[in-house]
Each structure stands twice: as structure tokens, then as C-alpha cells.
Structure 1
């Protein structure tokens, strides 16, 4: 599996470069800290566990993409990301939809992480039950994140507006969780077979960490 090393290094450098760029002059420093915190926490965990508990290349790519979404949102705040304004104009939307992308990824990536851990470590053998529980895990994470946003709003008052990014939408919380559900479901429907193939390759390369993947 040494052939994937250049890709993983490139992904790592891309994320670190984006993080450094985003931290130079973010729109709101407090919001930037809150938004990029998951990426800053996850990166050293992945580095520390990479040898003993390697993940599939697909999952590493998805995690890196999720980190980039978080970092871009932290740099501009979700309501001001230029990509979102372009989407708003192209799709004739009433608000910047970039935060919807963030919550879609918030469902898709945790669901894939849960799926890989459940199958790679042989906690489950049923693909259907694995898919169901993976979606449940993603929704639980989405719910916890919404609670964190609520607590941030209570603690920061008006200063939490940039972090929440509701843009005046009274149903923002429900919409965010619905996007996470869509992301998790799409992951199980569209990526499962590709994921299974990569886990079989991983099991052959690192039999001590993934030998029970069938």
C-alpha cells in the first residue's frame, strides 16, 4: 500500500496549507476557532493511529474533503463563503447554502467512519444493520453538534450569530439535521460497494488491523 503514500501526504499538506491560509485573516477569529476545531482535533488523531489502525484511502479522502469544507467555512463564516454565493445565484436561492454542504458532509463522513470501524473490526457482519447503525451514529453526531451550537448561542449571545449561520431561518436546526441524514444515506447507498472493495484491499495489506473484513 505504499503507492497511496504520496496521495495521503498530498492530502495532509493540502489541509495544513488551507488551515494556515484560513487563519491569516479570518472574517471572525472566534468563529474560525470554533469551525476549524474538529479538523485540528481529528488530524493528530489520524496521524497517531495511522499505522496501527489504518483507514481506507476512500475514507481518508472524504475526511480531508470534510476538513476543507470546515476550514473554508471558518475563514469566511458559512454565510459569506463565495462558493455559496455562486450557488445562491445559480440556483436562485434565498440564502447562501454553503452551510448545507457542511451538514451534508457532517452526515456522510461520520457515517462512513462508523461503517468502516464496525466492519473492519468485525463488530458486525450484516451490511444492512451496519448501514442502519452508521446512519444512526451520523445523526447522533449531528444532534450533538446542534446542541453545541445552542450552548454557544447561550454563552456568546449575539456573538454566536456568525458561528450559527442561521441567516434568519427559524428551521435551520431541522434543515441541518435533514442534510446530515441525506449525506449519511447517500454514503450508504452510493459508496458501500466501493468502500467494501477498499476494505478488502486494506485487509490484505494490513492483516493485523483488518483481517476480519470479508
Structure 2
């Protein structure tokens, strides 16, 4: 299945871009910690740049763009408040009697869910694998590699800036936070592969 130059409808592209810019500006305005904001928001900003640059030469499906936008919003909200202090999840924390704010788990679930869908799109369009099992195995391994790489980046950033370490890492005293983050990314990847196949395949056919 080869890619063709069929970018998203202009109204959709413009709307998604406007939503992203609005959330980005809000997120950058008086964040909880500016360094933490930069570190957390940078992946969303880089993704936006890449998508803008490849919109015409390698457009993705509408589903992929929508999920990437949702993931970017999750990142920008976490960047603004820090992942340990997102108000809605603080309310849930109080209501459930939990010891921690679990917004970071939503972020890591998305870190598995969205890259799995994007990876699936690329390997199908580039005809990398003949079999579904090998394709799904690669996608899960890819997602876990991305998750592990992000954990290493968090560790390195924390070593460079002790002041922002707790806010950026978001461990909240949980000794198994790194392993838990990777587990939620795995769950996200498996969920995407099990629930979006038909819808994704239908949109991939439209790229012909």
C-alpha cells in the first residue's frame, strides 16, 4: 500500500492547527515550572513541526492526525501543571483516596496508544511485513523502545537539573514508577492494535 499526496482536508488541517496553537499558548502561559514545561512540551512541538513538514509529501490518515493532536494536548496540559498536579486528577486522587496523581499514567498510555497507530500506518504503507503477527510484534517492540528511551531522557534531564527532577520525573515517591510507565505504554499499544484495526484499515484504503 503506497502513500499518495492526499493531505487532510484544509478545513480539518486548519482547525487542528488552531486547536494545537491555542493549547500551546495556554500551556506556555505561567506554567508551574518553566524548565519542566519546556521538557514536557518539546515532544509535542517537534511532532507538530514534523507533521507540518511532511503534510504534503507523506500525509497520514485523519485518525492518525486526530490521535496525535489528542496526545499533544495531553502533553501540553501535563507540561503546564506538571504531571503530579493536574487539577482534575488531583480531584480524582482525593475522591478515590489515592496516594498519587495518576495523570502521568494517562500520558504513558497515550505514549503507547498513539505511536502504535502511527507505526502501524507506516509499516503497512511501506509494506515492511508480510504477516500480521510479525507486524504487531514489531509495533509493540517499537513502542516499548520509545517508552524506554523516554525514561532514559527523563533520567538524564533529572541529573542535569536537580531542581526540576521531581516535577519532570513525576514519580511522586513511587519506587516502581519507571516500570509502571512502560507497562502503561504497553497497554496503550495493545489497546490500539486490538480496537482500531478496521477503522484504520478503512482510512488507509482511502489513501489510494
Instruction: Give yes or no for contact 2:7–2:59 (8 Å, CA) kept in 1.
Output: no
Determine whether 1:103 maps to 2:108: yes
Determine whether 1:199 maps to 2:204: yes
Equivalent position to 2:76, from 45, 64, 71:
71
Instruction: Give yes or no for contact 1:15–1:68 (8 Å, CA) kept in 2.
Output: yes
Q: C-alpha displacement at 1:192, in angstroms?
A: 1.3
Higher share of residues assigned helix: 1
Q: C-alpha displacement at 1:4, in angstroms?
A: 3.5
Query: Structure 1 residues 51, 100: CA separation in 2 closer, same or farther (over 3 Å shift)?
Result: same
Equivalent position to 1:92, from 97, 100, 105:
97
| SS at 2:9 equivalent | helix
Q: C-alpha displacement at 1:6, in angstroms?
A: 1.7
Superposition TM-score, scaled by structure 2 size: 0.93
Q: Residue deviations 1:39-93, cap 9 Å, x none?
A: 1111111011111101000000000000000000000000011121133234432
Question: How is 1:153-172 mapped onto 2 (pairs within 5 angstroms)?
Answer: 153-172=158-177
Q: C-alpha displacement at 1:198, in angstroms?
A: 0.8
Q: Give the distance between the partners of 1:12 and 1:88, measured in 2 at CA.
A: 32
Determine whether 1:130 maps to 2:132: no
| SS at 2:207 equivalent | helix
Question: How is 1:108-123 mapped onto 2 (pairs within 5 angstroms)?
Answer: 108-123=113-128
Instruction: Give yes or no for contact 1:119–1:125 (8 Å, CA) kept in 2.
Output: no
Consecutive unaligned residues of structure 1, counting only runs of 5 or more, are 204-214
Over the residues paired in the alignment, what is the CA RMSD in angstroms? 1.4
Query: Structure 1 residues 87, 127: CA separation in 2 closer, same or farther (over 3 Å shift)?
Result: farther
Equivalent position to 1:52, from 50, 57, 63:
57
Q: C-alpha displacement at 1:136, in angstroms?
A: 0.8
Superposition TM-score, scaled by structure 1 size: 0.90
Consecutive unaligned residues of structure 2, counting only runs of 5 or more, are 1-5
Query: Structure 1 residues 132, 2: CA separation in 2 closer, same or farther (over 3 Å shift)?
Result: closer
Q: Residue deviations 1:14-44, cap 9 Å, x none?
A: 1111001111100000000000000111111
Q: Which residue of 2 aligns with 1:148?
A: 153
Q: Give the distance between the partners of 2:10 and 2:129, measured in 1 at CA.
A: 29
How many residue pairs get aligned? The number is 203
Q: Give the distance between the partners of 1:29 and 1:138, measured in 2 at CA.
A: 28
